[in-house]
Amino acid sequence: MADAFIYDAIRTPRGRGKADGSLHEVTALNLAAQTLAAVKDRNKLDPALIDDVVLGCVDPVGEAGGDIARAAALVAGFGDEVPGIQINRFCASGLDAVNFAAAEVMSGQHEMTIGGGAESMSESASAHPAVPGRSIHPLLSQRIFCRRAFLPT
């Protein structure tokens, strides 16, 4: 079995998870996309080399409600060829996403994957049920498949 290695680690900013917290206007999608873009830029990474993006998300609401891994890869400029999968393992979602990404490499299924977690507790329906959903990221609303996946027909 092949070994899997972690080449970089990036942490998103932290704030208090409340409706008026310091990051309350930043969606989970934007946090994830900024992180993926930072991985790409810091490592001069060609997105064509990435076989999969695996992100854990506990409370997929709004833009995170579809497939946040795929959406974040698109917003981060990874292009249309990079797939993504979202998993939910509650509090272990991010950790399990990293383990899932490593397992893809170790099994020989993929050469390079990105794993992590994405959450915005300021938007979380479970933490703040009264917080209304936000609009879809403009880069996603321009794509046909996202119109079908995220927007009402």
- What domains, with CATH codes, occur in the chain? 28-150 (3.40.47.10)
Give the pLDDT confidence score for residue 150 in this predicted structure: 41
Indicate whether 26 pLDDT > 60.
Answer: yes
Indicate whether 29 pLDDT > 70.
Answer: yes
Q: Give the model's confidence band at 131: pLDDT under 50 very low, under 70 low, under 90 confident, else very high.
A: very low
Tokens of 42: 């810091």
Report how far apart, in Å, the C-alpha atoms of 45 and of each of 7, 67, 105, 106 are. 11, 22, 17, 21
Tokens of 118: 């994405």
Tokens of 95: 């950790």
- Is 18 within 8 Å of 128 (Cβ atoms)? yes
Indicate whether 117 pLDDT > 80.
Answer: yes
Whole-structure pTM value: 0.80
Q: Give the model's confidence band at 149: pLDDT under 50 very low, under 70 low, under 90 confident, else very high.
A: very low
Percent of the chain clearing pLDDT 90 (strictly above): 56
Give the pLDDT confidence score for residue 78 in this predicted structure: 97
- Of 27, 87, 67, 34, nearest to 148 (Cα)? 67
Indicate whether 127 pLDDT > 60.
Answer: no
Indicate whether 139 pLDDT > 70.
Answer: no
